[in-house]
Amino acid sequence: MDKKPEITTRAPNTTNGKNGNGKKKEETAARIIKAIKESSGLLTLAAKKANVGLTTIYRYVNDFPSVHQASLEAKEVMLDYAESKLYEKIKSGDNVAILFYLKTQGKARGYIERQEFANPEGEAFRVEHDAKGKLLAELARHAARAGASEDNKETT
């Protein structure tokens, strides 16, 4: 199995210790940073490794810049690792990997998948995937128009 690359982080932020617990918080932050590195940025696994609750991990990620940075770096390292494995698959001629890459990275060159919808009269309509609720509203509008068209056919 390939070894994942190492990541480096800065030392914990020592200005975050409050109420005389600075040393303990620093030690916990260091333990969490180590666990985050070992778990490739998966915070649930890091919590188990550091023997703290998941809410503690989230609190330290939010309150300690060094823990936040360690989390970001670990995720970047894992993303780089996954991309390198994808490139290996592409170079070996794996069709699924090639298609996945083209669909996600080759859009500017026309490698996209799209679905086209039309009402009963054959009129195409636009589908907005990134606007919450617009797809359903557009479908409902066309369904209502198609229903009215069917009612007109029955009365003639």
- Residue 123's pLDDT is 74
Q: Domain limits of the chain?
A: 14-105, 117-155
Nearest partner of 75 among 22, 21, 134, 9, judged by Cα: 9
pLDDT by residue, tens only, the chain of 156 residues: 455 555 444 444 444 444 557 889 999 999 999 999 999 999 999 999 999 999 999 999 999 999 999 999 999 999 999 999 999 999 999 999 999 999 889 878 878 776 566 677 777 666 555 555 666 667 777 777 766 655 555 555
- Strand, helix or coil for residue 104: helix
- Residue 148's pLDDT is 62
**Residue 42, number of CB atoms within 10 A of its CB:** 17
Angstrom distance (rounded) from CA 21 to CA 63: 14
- Residue 149's pLDDT is 57
Q: List, in sequence order, the alpha helices (H) in the chain.
A: 22-38, 43-50, 54-63, 65-91, 95-105, 134-155
- Decide: 34 and 71 in contact? Cβ < 8 Å: no
- Residue 13's pLDDT is 46
Give me the phi and psi of 124, to 5 degrees please. -75, 150
| Entry pTM | 0.56
**Residue 53, number of CB atoms within 10 A of its CB:** 11
